[in-house]
Structure formats: C-alpha cells, structure tokens
Amino acid sequence: MRWQFRGGLDENDRKAMLFTNVVDAKGKRYDIFVVVGAMGASRKIYQIGIGHPLDQLSTVWTRAMNNLVQASEARAAGAVVRL
C-alpha cells in the first residue's frame, strides 16, 4: 500500500486494498478485515465514497459539518459497531 503513495503508482492507478487474513509481525491472527485507502487512495476513490463530484466536495463537507448527526450504535451480524 505504501508503494502507491511513494511514487510507485500514478494517482489514477491507485487502488483500495482489503486484507482478510490479518496477521501481525509475531504471527498473531486477528478475526477482522482491514481496508486501506478506501477513502483516500485517490481523488476518484474519494469522490465515489462521498457520492458527489469533486467540485462539490467543499459544499458537501460544509453542509455535513453544519448538520452533525448524533452518535449511535449499530448492530450487524452479531457485531457491535460504534458510529
């Protein structure tokens, strides 16, 4: 993933990555998935994630910051997700 941002790939060629077999340096396995670059690998990925054209992002962010939602808790497939 780091290679994409250190000159290895042009921004338009960058991808988000999903890791499903998460293991640390000591071999400990984790029962989670990890996604990297899902919102920031490129402007195009960011645009898709936000759901608005890039030229509207400033307006969208301003509207979002002026209309914050109350934090809540969601339950999905037996897991608790804190929002």
Round to whole Å and give the CA distance between 22 and 30.
5
What pLDDT score was predicted for residue 10?
83
Whole-model pTM: value is 0.52
Residue 52's SS3 state is coil
User: For residue 37, how many other CB atoms are within 10 A of its CB?
Assistant: 17
Residue 48's SS3 state is helix
Q: Where are the domains of the chain?
A: 2-82
10-residue mean pLDDT profile of the chain (83 residues): values are: 78 86 94 84 82 89 87 63 53
Round to whole Å and give the CA distance between 23 and 40.
23
